[in-house]
Structure 1
Amino acid sequence: MNLQTWFDRHDWNATQRAINATTPQQVEQALARSRRTLDDFKALISPAAQAYLEPMARMSQQLTQKRFGRTIQLYAPLYLSNECQNICTYCAFSLDNKIQRRTLTDDEIRREADWVRQLGYEHILLVTGEASQTVGVPYLKKAIRLLRDYFAQVSMEVQPLDQPEYETLIAEGLNTVLVYQETYHEATYRQHHPKGKKSNFRYRLDTPDRLGRAGIHRIGLGALLGLEDWRTDSFFTAAHLQYLERTYWRTRYSISFPRLRPIDLAENETISVKIFDQCMSDRDLVQLICAYRLFNEEVELSLSTRETPRFRDHVLKLGITSLSAGSKTNPGGYVVEPQSLEQFAISDERSPGDMADVIRRQGYEPVWKDWDKTFLHV
């Protein structure tokens, strides 16, 4: 079964109705099973499952410890550029936001990398806007070459590429690619991406397939929580994950939970802030984290500094396997140009050292590099 066949099997409105019509009995049946289906996942993310959050959290914690032990991987994003050719309604890097554009030079990349490495990190996530002429494959190839001397693992979250381009970067040492679909509702997707290459819904949807065929070690998935109904988007993310695991079984997978955050809008040197309606509560997000873990014991679950310190501390044990800390979401944000405009507002501003202490106090071990990298060539 190819992706097109998979995607056409699922109707958004029918899925949404089924989730909202879930009964308590269906939730209990899902919780009683040792291996859970997509229908069980629907039950676990349903409004009816909110009454079962405590047993879900307990089971999620047990399954995570069974598979990953008491470890939390730490990583940091390194923003290389805020140049972008797309218009996206929720992003400060959007082409129509008249901000000062910045792309790091080789020397600036080294300065940022040296700072991040001194913080203890061995895992770096490269982030750029989507500007193929400025930060295309030649730029990314050079950046990976510069950074592989600093870090044991290099990941990236940039514009979707073609399969041969991914193969080129993998040969340079690229380990992981994160590519969020933003929303699986095609009409809503087009509404929020009116201009640029990113407006091509199907090309973006096909990106994990191109990565799988290219032989990437890990693929990160996720929906931007708040653009559409979070429950239905999360079901489609889980279905996409299942399809990919069955098709590219050598590849590992992770799920992230990016909730919409306020962004700065620049207009004639005046900065205003765009606030999005919060469509997902903290309780909802706890439910979703636990539902993913109960659905898939193997998938890695990542939580960024978008979330508050209090929330991150409370969910750390419930299924999360990786956390960012001390993040800067602007190019040069660590040492080169700290005051440049952020992609989105950070909520948890604690240092990596402080976050590591929090992890230890909860009886877990902070891990500063990819725990399974040593098994890549076994």
Structure 2
Amino acid sequence: MFSDIFHTHDWDAVRESIYSKTSHDVERALQRTQRTLEDFKALIAPAALPYLETMARKSQALTRQRFGKTIQLYVPLYLSNVCQNICTYCAFSMDNLIPRKTLTDAEILEEVAVLKAMGYEHVLLVTGEASQQVGVAYLQNAIRLIKPYFANISLEVQPLQEAEYALLIKEGLHTVLVYQETYRAANYKQYHPKGRKSNFEYRLATPDRLGKAGIHKIGLGTLIGLEDWRTDACFTALHLQYLEQTYWQTRYSISFPRLRPIAQAEGSKSFAHFMEDAELVQLICAYRLFRDDLEIAMSTREQETFRDHAVQLGITSMSAGSKTNPGGYAVAPQSLEQFEISDERSPAVIADMIRAQGYEPVWKDWDQTLL
């Protein structure tokens, strides 16, 4: 289990190791073709910032070599904003007094009709973490409902048991995204004071349960802004390295959700660990240089200009036309969003932007298109 490895690493020691890296360490990492976790530390260190142009060129070349000049398009479909957790950064938090909504079968199909009209084949189902209202039975039913309409179904919900994941995989589930939010165990509970999500260890073990269940792809990431992003990124890379070695038949993706302002949360625009755009570029490139076959996703949390430039940096997929509220596409467009969207352009406009840069937007999963 990853927890056995995780507990041999001290947060402060890892952080010090990253921030003590020198330009010599960065240059050595850049010269290598097979990079270690120590090389990754160097590439995310402050010492690597002067090397961004070199990192970007190498990242672009590796991405094109492995994935071609393609960007996969996906869309989130929020099924419910009911949540049994208190999370200090999320609009769906149980203590946030907002109208709650869970889509019915008919409403799900209304949303699906809109997404299909946009051209989507890859959908990400999202809910709050509420095992009673949107438990396994609800998710199983939702997957059955939408399976005839999409080539690829992903899930971002509460952590489940291994047998529950196996059940959903049989129904057609392809990918599960599970973000640890932060690997700083000592501070984890201050962001998640109540609910099942407050159990750090259970969440940490979720990718292991997914791997054992035989999931096709696991998505990892942390919520950038909670803690020092460099240290969290290093622990994510450590987790990725373990998973690749243990569940080698599974594919992996990484995302970089930066904290965004949320509705009805005072002070939500002030985050303790702000990340500059140049630092996000650094992180994207560092992950690509660390793992050339890693899928890297970017959501509509990011600004238009940044996403336009990111197409050639090393990302492999992006969302477009996203709504982060249940029923946001057709049923209840005025319901509260989980976070503010920065890039509100339509999927068609995003596809045109991708083509204008000499890349091809891919609407289906690579597994389907490359067979």
TM-score, scaled relative to structure 1: 0.96
Shift of 1:124: 0.3
Counterpart in the other structure of 1:285: 280
Paired with 2:297 and 2:270, the residues of 1 have a C-alpha distance of 22
Counterpart in the other structure of 1:269: none
Letter in 1 for 2:73: L
Letter in 1 for 2:164: E
Counterpart in the other structure of 2:269: 275
Paired with 1:129 and 1:373, the residues of 2 have a C-alpha distance of 30
Question: Is the 8 Å Cα contact of residues 16 and 232 (structure 1) preserved in structure 2?
Answer: yes
Shift of 1:36: 0.2
Letter in 2 for 1:106: D
Once the two structures are superposed, the pairs formed by residues 298-313 of structure 1 within 5 Å of their partners are 298-313=293-308
Once the two structures are superposed, the pairs formed by residues 144-293 of structure 1 within 5 Å of their partners are 144-265=143-264, 274-277=268-271, 279-293=274-288
Letter in 1 for 2:268: K
Paired with 2:285 and 2:259, the residues of 1 have a C-alpha distance of 20
Question: Is the 8 Å Cα contact of residues 3 and 201 (structure 2) preserved in structure 1?
Answer: no
Shift of 1:136: 0.1
Counterpart in the other structure of 2:319: 324
* Cα deviation code 1:90-114 (max 9, x no counterpart): 0000000000000000000000011
Paired with 2:270 and 2:363, the residues of 1 have a C-alpha distance of 33
Aligned partner of residue 182 in structure 1, secondary structure? coil
Paired with 2:206 and 2:270, the residues of 1 have a C-alpha distance of 27
Paired with 1:274 and 1:180, the residues of 2 have a C-alpha distance of 20
Aligned length, in residue pairs? 370
* Cα deviation code 1:59-87 (max 9, x no counterpart): 00000000000000000000000000000
Aligned-residue Cα RMSD (Å) equals 1.1
Paired with 1:48 and 1:36, the residues of 2 have a C-alpha distance of 17
Paired with 1:30 and 1:246, the residues of 2 have a C-alpha distance of 21
Paired with 2:231 and 2:340, the residues of 1 have a C-alpha distance of 26
Paired with 1:4 and 1:181, the residues of 2 have a C-alpha distance of 13
Deviation beyond 2 Å, 4+ runs, structure 1:
none
* Cα deviation code 1:120-148 (max 9, x no counterpart): 00000000000000000000000000000
1:345 aligns with 2:340: yes
Aligned partner of residue 226 in structure 1, secondary structure? coil
Shift of 1:153: 0.6
Paired with 2:75 and 2:270, the residues of 1 have a C-alpha distance of 25
Paired with 1:373 and 1:3, the residues of 2 have a C-alpha distance of 31
Gaps of 5+ in 1: 267-271
1:20 aligns with 2:14: no
Paired with 1:250 and 1:310, the residues of 2 have a C-alpha distance of 36
Shift of 1:373: 3.4
Letter in 2 for 1:48: A
Paired with 2:30 and 2:67, the residues of 1 have a C-alpha distance of 21
Question: Is the 8 Å Cα contact of residues 87 and 192 (structure 2) preserved in structure 1?
Answer: yes
Question: Is the 8 Å Cα contact of residues 64 and 297 (structure 1) preserved in structure 2?
Answer: yes
Shift of 1:219: 0.2
Letter in 1 for 2:280: L
Greater mean alpha carbon deviation, residues 7-16 or residues 290-299: 7-16
Aligned partner of residue 114 in structure 1, secondary structure? helix
Aligned partner of residue 372 in structure 1, secondary structure? helix
Paired with 2:186 and 2:106, the residues of 1 have a C-alpha distance of 42
Paired with 1:25 and 1:138, the residues of 2 have a C-alpha distance of 54
Letter in 2 for 1:32: Q
